[in-house]
């Protein structure tokens, strides 16, 4: 791969477009240069989120029993499927299906993946999925879809065997992903982030809180002059990677191993630390509630919620 040289003007334009959500129903992958610039910056940060979420699944040994057909929907530069192949054994993917509004993005993703994994069959059409069990990756699309496009995507989701869906950790997109979760609960088992299968506790709670987490960036970015300039020019805090995500497996799926979850309470967002205690929003089957952890007798829980990880289980 050729050395990367940032085009700051193009990156600033992309950043502004993302902030304003001016997508107008079309693709912004008009030129190869846009894909290259995005891939080495914004997509890298999205990849850190995917690594955190998929790392949790790998740690829980939630893995396919047999090689799967993996669909990367709205693939962009292919960061979701590329990270999947890095976290899991590439031999677990028999076929990779890339889909995007932009044929240019599909070709870019295909080349990036084939350069590293030439043994994997890669196709780009969704037509042949009707009689095939497939697993589905979706990444950062909710703020770009019209209601009709979202309905069409949800029809595809309902046919999937396994789903990982990752979005920015904003209140609006978290709520949208919760609505997706509620639609899927009858036919899918919720694997993460939820510690239960019931209705989301935030729905019934009259609160400004939302379901989000913080993925850790690699430590190397803090020693990089290029990432430092990226942060300063675009006004992005490299330490903060807020994300909302959803992992589901079809009930009684023969293709995926889902180990039982022994933990029952998970921290949402970030804990606040005070003299003598810490406080955090926690989710359990019983409720979503503010929980106080006293330093004198809950030091282990406080140590857990101070860790820079996406998985903070306190019960």
End-to-end CA gap in the chain: 45
Domains of the chain: 8-250 (3.40.50.150), 266-305 (no CATH)
Buried-state track 277-297, b at ≥16 Cβ within 10 A, e below 16? ebebbbbbeeebeebebeeee
Question: Rounded to an integer, what distance in angstroms lies between the CA atom of residue 202 and that of residue 45?
Answer: 27
pLDDT score recorded for residue 22: 58
Kindly give the parts of the chain with pLDDT less than 50. Answer: none
> What confidence score (pLDDT) does residue 26 get?
60
Q: Are 79 and 43 in contact (CB under 8 A)?
A: yes
């Amino acid at each position: 791969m050729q050395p990367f040289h940032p085009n700051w003007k193009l990156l600033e334009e992309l950043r502004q477009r993302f902030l304003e959500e001016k997508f107008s129903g079309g693709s912004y992958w008009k030129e190869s240069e846009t894909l290259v610039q995005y891939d080495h910056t914004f997509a890298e940060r999205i990849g850190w989120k995917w690594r955190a979420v998929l790392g949790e699944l790998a740690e829980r040994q939630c893995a396919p029993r047999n090689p799967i057909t993996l669909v990367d929907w709205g693939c962009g530069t292919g960061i979701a499927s590329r990270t999947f192949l890095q976290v899991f054994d590439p031999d677990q993917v028999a076929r990779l299906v890339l889909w995007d509004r932009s044929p240019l993005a599909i070709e870019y993703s295909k080349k990036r993946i084939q350069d590293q994994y030439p043994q994997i069959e890669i196709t780009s059409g969704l037509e042949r999925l009707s009689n095939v069990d497939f697993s589905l990756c979706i990444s950062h699309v909710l703020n770009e879809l019209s209601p009709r496009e979202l309905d069409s995507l949800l029809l595809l989701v309902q046919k999937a065997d396994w789903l990982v869906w990752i979005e920015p950790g904003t209140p609006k997109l978290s709520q949208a992903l919760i609505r997706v979760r509620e639609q899927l609960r009858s036919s899918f088992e919720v694997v993460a982030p939820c510690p239960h299968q019931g209705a989301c506790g935030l729905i019934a709670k009259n609160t400004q809180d939302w379901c989000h987490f913080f993925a850790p960036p690699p430590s190397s970015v803090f020693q990089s002059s290029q990432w430092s300039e990226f942060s300063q020019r675009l006004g992005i805090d490299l330490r903060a990677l807020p994300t909302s995500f959803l992992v589901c497996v079809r009930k009684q799926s023969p293709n995926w191993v889902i180990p039982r979850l022994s933990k029952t309470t998970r921290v949402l967002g970030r804990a606040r630390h005070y003299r003598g205690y810490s406080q955090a929003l926690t989710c359990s089957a019983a409720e979503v509630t503010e929980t106080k952890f006293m330093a004198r007798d809950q030091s282990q829980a406080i140590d857990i919620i101070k860790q820079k990880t996406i998985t903070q289980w306190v019960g």
